[in-house]
Amino acid sequence: MKIVVTGALGHIGSALIRQLPLHFPDAEIVMLDNMMTQRYASLFDLPAVGRYQFIEADVRTIDLRQVVDGSDVVIHLAAITDAAGTFDRAAELEANNFDATTKIAAACQNAGARLIHLSSTSVYGTQNAVVSEECTAEELKPQSPYATTKLKEETLVQTLAKDKGLRAVVFRFGTIFGASPGMRYHTAVNKFCWQAVMKQPLSIWRSAYDQKRPYLDLTDAVRAIAYVIKEDLFDGRVYNVLTLNSTVREIVDCIREFVPDVQLSFVNSPIMNQLSYEVSCQRFRDRGFVFSGDIRRGIGESVALLAAANRG
């Protein structure tokens, strides 16, 4: 088996490439990353059991035939992911994310490879108390250029699956938490862990403290990807993937178990008009997947890894 991972050195990718050989012992794992975020350390100490090949390249400019031909599965993680930081970069984000997805989807279709495409639960901006994949287009109200582009990518992949026979699945991932070699600290839980350990006030969006949002344990994210490959679940559908729905207040209370003296600083957010909602992942559960992640464990591990740097 040949598995291609784009954006392989990022937060999710750097954990995924370490776990894939355990799920698929004989697989060749081709890692593609443009090194935009300079996460060289994600390549350090890869498991000896893995058959790895690293390619430094941009998905948009490389001849993907050389990469995708002969592959069984392409896991497309490459993207600019900082939703709140993209409000003044909408054109750049779309040029990067949508164009990359267009090229990857076409390459998979031409090569007969199956595609796992990552989207985000940030495409939901509805006022419904509970949202699911059954939401109509009118009910989806993405609140950032990142989310808007992700929704456009979803439509592209699903159209190719329906009309052109592309074997694909779309995952709407909740906000990732949990440690990995390539992790970043621009999303809620990870950022809060960093700030708490470094004795900085937690910068919390004023409008979001008691609003529920979906979160995904990194271990569940990796397991979900492996599960789809093992079960050959490439049905062209969208699946919400999340470990839990939680308020920021509940996350802060969990962090306080590990860093009792944490302080808060409330800031205004560019995303001000979302209301509280929960995301349902019942569709994926119905396909037999069992979520086993844990927010307390994820926060505890992240805090422990950082604590040695600030023992004063």
Q: What is the pLDDT along the chain (312 residues), one digit of tens a residue?
A: 999 999 999 999 999 999 999 999 999 999 999 998 888 999 999 999 999 999 999 999 999 999 999 999 999 999 877 655 566 677 777 878 899 999 999 999 999 999 999 999 989 876 677 899 998 877 788 878 888 899 999 999 999 999 999 999 999 999 999 999 998 888 889 999 999 999 999 988 877 888 888 999 999 999 999 999 999 999 999 999 999 999 999 999 999 999 999 999 988 766 544 567 899 999 999 999 999 999 999 999 999 999 887 776
Select from 242, 238, 235 the least CA-distant residue to 221: 242
CA separation for the pair 47, 55 (Å, rounded): 18
For residue 286, tell me if it sits in a domain: no
Could you give the CA distance from residue 247 to residue 231 in angstroms, rounded to a whole number?
33
Whether residue 203 sits in one domain with residue 100? no
163 & 232 share domain: yes
Residue 217 is predicted with a pLDDT of: 98
- SS3 call for 187: coil
| Bridge partners, 169 (sequence order) | 116
Verify that 19 and 125 share a domain, yes or no: yes
Tokens 């699956």 sit on residue: 161
284 within domain boundaries: no
* Burial zone of 28 (CB within 10 Å; 0-12 exposed, 13-18 middle, 19+ buried): middle
Q: Tell me: do 80 and 224 sit in the same domain.
A: yes
- Contact of 113 with 73, CB cutoff 8 Å: yes
Domain residues for 86?
A: 2-176+217-241
Tell me how far apart the alpha carbons of residues 71 and 54 are, in angstroms, rounded to a whole number.
15
Whether 202 and 222 share a structural domain: no
Q: Between the CA atoms of 22, 23, 27 and 28, what dihedral angle is there, to the nearest 10 degrees?
A: -60
**What is the CATH number for 298?**
3.90.25.10
Query: What is the per-residue pLDDT for 312?
Result: 61
Are both 222 and 142 inside the same structural domain?
Answer: yes
pLDDT of residue 274: 55
What is the per-residue pLDDT for 272? 46
What whole-number distance in Å separates Cα of residue 178 and Cα of residue 302?
6
Chain position carrying tokens 């940030």: 122
When computed from its CA atoms, the radius of gyration of the chain, rounded to whole angstroms, is 19
Q: How many whole angstroms separate alpha carbon 132 and alpha carbon 115?
A: 22
Q: How far apart are CA 52 and CA 62, in angstroms?
A: 19
Residues 6 or more apart in contact with residue 179 via CB below 8 angstroms = 218, 298, 301, 302, 305
What's the predicted TM-score (pTM) here? 0.93
